[in-house]
Amino acid sequence: MVTPAQSSAQNGYLFEDLAVGMTASAARTVGESDIVKFADVSGDHNPVHLDAAYAATTMFKERIAHGMLAASFISALLASELPGRGCIYVSQSLKFKAPVKIGDEVTSRIEVMSLIPEKKFVTLKTQSLVRGKVVVDGEATVMVPSRG
């Protein structure tokens, strides 16, 4: 959900339509197939993600999702809702604070923190949460299409 009302869900926001404090969030449950597909696409076949016997010997005691899989949900929210279509990543900082496990519902949240008109850059607070606990914390800067 995006607040305030989006100018056009199909087109996303233009830079001039954005304001500090705007937020968006979305939830997604991490499934077995998400982890396997992410491993195949990324090439990250760390056994803590794919091998239950190995994962049982780690501090997590079970398989965990790739941290970048949870972070990719933030990217999807930026591209699909706020600012939306046409935005381009400039930077993203990430702190991985807790594991995401198979079956966890990950809620990603973003909030507009600042606008840089001369560059059409937007800085956003980015977070992913599981059961209300922050699992990924960060900040993104994106370039946003403009009317000009």
Whole-model pTM over 0.75: yes
Q: What is the layout of strands, in order, in the sheet containing 2-3?
A: 2-3, 23-29, 105-116, 121-130, 133-143, 88-96
**Backbone phi and psi for residue 103, each to the nearest 5 degrees, phi listed first:** 95, -10
Q: Does 50 map to a domain?
A: yes
Give the range of the structural domain holding residue 100, as residue numbers without chain letter.
2-143
Residues 89-101 pLDDT 10s: 999 999 999 999 9
In a domain, 49, yes or no: yes
Which helix (DSSP H) or strand (DSSP E) does residue 88 occupy? Answer: strand 88-96
Residue 139 resides in a domain: yes
SS3 assignment for 98-118: CCCCCCCEEEEEEEEEEEECC
pLDDT of residue 24: 96
Domains of the chain: total: 1
Question: How many whole angstroms separate alpha carbon 107 and alpha carbon 138?
Answer: 14
pLDDT of residue 148: 78
State residue 4's pLDDT score. Answer: 44
Amino acid at 10: Q
Residue 114's CATH number:
3.10.129.10
Q: Is 148 within a domain?
A: no
